[in-house]
Chain A
Amino acid sequence: MNNILVANEVSKQFGSHIALNKVSLEIPKNSIYGLLGPNGAGKTTLIRIINQIIYPDQGAIFFDGKPLQAQHIAMIGYLPEERGLYKSMKVGEQALYLAQLKGLSKSDAKIRLKYWFDRLEIGDWWNKKIQELSKGMAQKIQFIVTVLHEPKLLIFDEPFSGFDPINANLIKDEILQLRDKGTTIIFSTHRMESVEELCEYIALVHKSEKILDGKLSDIKKAYKNNIYKVGLGLQSANGLLEDLKDKFEILSSEYVDGGSQLNFTVKLPSDDTGPFLSHLSGKANVNNFMETIPSANDIFIRTVQSK
């Protein structure tokens, strides 16, 4: 079994609203998986089903090859989008409580909490109340509580919303280390650019349906459109642009630095850049030449539009 989690045609309906329509997913072990889509697409519903907070109307979820069961709760760590802590409870007490609810023994939880508190340098917060902490501080605790029971699968819903950049980086590093130790991580977000660099696999969800999934690099390859950004250094405005416009599909162009620099984007007929580059040689200095790789967002928009 190479997949930690498999969803098989999962559907969920709330009244007349279809929240999920036959969504199937395969989440490989030890990967970072991006569950992407706009607000209201059904991501949170799917995650809640995985966490057994709600149950699917149809379809099934398999965790590590077995149908999802109550005992799997202890193997999943979940940081919801709507996350909070008891305001009037002390930090340590609260962390212990949440850890015990996940099935850790009290003594075990204490040892692990001490390790994490020291690691994130918050050891002296143990007896503070949550209401004395800033939002960023509280989020560190939420993160610790999520990962404390060493789950096989970690699910982060909108993980970086509300994190300040320093904490966001800290958490990002911790997540990467957890991945290296064998944990599978699901990121769910509507801000696709925020997790794109981290994800190995993605699934795009739109209007309750999965519209695309797979390895991010494969998807990008498939969605590559041979558009290149080119910057040329010119001796003078020598009619090169007109010449190029005749022979290639120029999407946009502009002169900068008083006409000494020409920037343009060009769409080539194939991914063979040879003919284009040899056409340029001798006519101008190629200052930069870069393929525009579609972002997950671009891919999403194109997929939605093509449907």
Chain B
Amino acid sequence: MGKLALIIKREYLAKVRNKSFVVMTFLSPILMVGMVVLIVYLTKINDNEIRTIGVLNESNYFSTDFQGTESNSFVKFKGIGLEAAKDSIQKMGFYGLLYIPNEQDLEQVASRSFFYSKDAPGSSILNNLENVFKDRLRLQRLQELGVSVSDFESVDNNFEIKTATFTGEQNLKGITEIKAFIGGAFGYLIMMFIIIYGGFVMRSVIEEKTTRIIEVIISSVKPFQLMLGKIIGTSLAGVTQFAIWIISAFVMFGVLILVFDIDPSALNSGASNTPVLIGGAAYVAASDSAMQLYANELFRIPWIMLICFFVIYFVLGYLIYSSIYAAIGAAVDNETDTQQFIFPIILPLMLAIYVGFFSVFNNPHGPIAVGFSLFPLTSPIVMLMRLPGGIGEGGVPIWEIAVSILLLIITFVGIVWLAAKIYRVGILMYGKKPSYRDLLKWLKY
């Protein structure tokens, strides 16, 4: 035990003291924020481009429409032919020309109108133009039917069916998705952690091989101890990194609140007001109580249980994958040789994430979701996506959790045993790029 502790300590310190690790720890949050800012900025620039569109209106309609918007401005042509208008549009470098012919009635005008442009127009522009036509057409048809605009608007309603479980708990639309999203976040976290820190474990093994210190060390400790110490030490470094990120996020949030004097509750109410803008005054009360329900529902997610299971699935899943990473590191001489072995590891992880997002979101307890949440290589991710829905009735059956954890433990023991065998042989093999067949042979040594 003393030796294992020594190895863990060394691996941890080696990782934490590493310059790139320190830089990444403090740079990543800045990079993340910068990335978001950059994306927002770029989207804005993209939208900021004002396109000028020529309108050649020969009809008697639409005379007051086509006012400039944030992204479009309109130039009206009068008294010239279509071809001449097209020419001048091109000469002036405008985006396109909307041609509205002179016809008997609005329906015909609309159906004969054309939009000319240099290349296929973007959908946002077309939507803008089409909406103008749609509004006009709707108004005219309403008039023909003898319905007033206010009557029409009162006809429109925002009906949503209310749902409840058999035990009478009220369900909320979209809450399944929100819960799955929370679970998805946990699952995604596990995947990222496995890929990043599994890779660290692998590189650390390769480093020991290339510096040739490995044989010195395993003449003092068992290869299995070394492998385990490496995995634990590296993941502790990872946990440290995550802790720093979470703490710094809280600190930054706190600083923001203090510096800009933002009332945190204002953020909440602001968010809850958003749907009001769409509906009408009548919707406000309903929306407020709905938000309340959503909040209640989120509070009712068994967070403690969720975090406990997160830890269990995380530890088991991470140990399984990182021991495979360690075995790969032991099998090869340099990082470029790892590609062929890495792909099969990433595959179940990606599968878990995609199956999670597509299948679990739609139906958290469907056969695919159940299957993947039992299969040990995907269960840490998929099961966590299902768990926020609760355990037992209406949630994940207890037997499924028991089976998936049991399978995970059996796989863990099996995989670690196999990986340790490959590791033990691999670390002493130099100068040969092994094939899968070689790895199989090593298992028999």
Give A residues with C-beta under 8 Å from B: 14-15, 48, 51-54, 73, 76, 78-80, 82-89, 97-98, 100-102, 142, 145
* Residue in B14, B18, B211 with the greatest tally of chain A CB atoms within 10 Å: B211
B220 within 8 A of A: yes
B10 within 8 A of A: yes
Chain B residues contacting A86 (CB-CB under 8 Å) are: 14, 207-208, 211, 213
- Interchain nearest-CB distance for B20 vs A (Å): 11
Chain A residues contacting B218 (CB-CB under 8 Å) are: 53
Contact A84 B212 (CB under 8 A): yes
Task: Using known A-B contacts A15-B441, A53-B428, A101-B221, determine if residue A83 contacts B6 with beta carbons closer than 8 Å.
Answer: no
Chain B residues contacting A85 (CB-CB under 8 Å) are: 211, 213, 216
Nearest-CB residue, chain B, relative to A12? B445
Chain B residues contacting A84 (CB-CB under 8 Å) are: 211-213, 216
Chain A residues contacting B307 (CB-CB under 8 Å) are: none
Q: Which of B214, B217, B444, B445 is within 8 Å of A101, CB to CB?
A: B217
User: In the complex, A101 Cα to B424 Cα: how many Å?
Assistant: 18
Chain B residues contacting A89 (CB-CB under 8 Å) are: 14
Nearest-CB residue, chain A, relative to B7? A101
**What are 27 sample pairs from A and B whose C-beta atoms fall under 8 A apart?**
A14-B445, A15-B441, A15-B444, A15-B445, A51-B219, A53-B218, A54-B424, A78-B215, A78-B219, A79-B216, A80-B215, A80-B216, A80-B219, A82-B215, A83-B212, A84-B211, A84-B212, A85-B211, A86-B211, A86-B213, A88-B18, A89-B14, A97-B6, A97-B10, A98-B220, A101-B7, A101-B217
B242 within 8 A of A: no
Contact A83 B428 (CB under 8 A): no
User: In the complex, A89 Cα to B211 Cα: how many Å?
Assistant: 12
Chain A residues contacting B217 (CB-CB under 8 Å) are: 98, 101
Give me the 6 closest cross-chain CB pairs, A-B, nearest first: A84-B212, A80-B215, A101-B220, A84-B211, A78-B219, A51-B219
Chain A residues contacting B223 (CB-CB under 8 Å) are: 53
Task: Using known A-B contacts A53-B215, A101-B6, determine if residue A82 contacts B220 with beta carbons closer than 8 Å.
Answer: no
Contact B212 A100 (CB under 8 A): no
- Interchain nearest-CB distance for B429 vs A (Å): 10
Nearest-CB residue, chain A, relative to B19? A88
Interface string of B24-38 (1 = CB under 8 A from A): 000000000000000
- Interchain nearest-CB distance for B35 vs A (Å): 30
Contact A87 B219 (CB under 8 A): no
Chain B residues contacting A97 (CB-CB under 8 Å) are: 6, 10
Residues B410-434 near A (CB distance < 8 A) = 424, 428, 430
Chain B residues contacting A88 (CB-CB under 8 Å) are: 14, 18
User: In the complex, A80 Cα to B430 Cα: how many Å?
Assistant: 14
Residues B1-56 near A (CB distance < 8 A) = 3, 6-7, 10, 14, 18
User: In the complex, A98 Cα to B10 Cα: how many Å?
Assistant: 10
Contact B445 A48 (CB under 8 A): no
User: In the complex, A6 Cα to B97 Cα: how many Å?
Assistant: 98
Contact A73 B220 (CB under 8 A): yes
- Interchain nearest-CB distance for A72 vs B (Å): 11
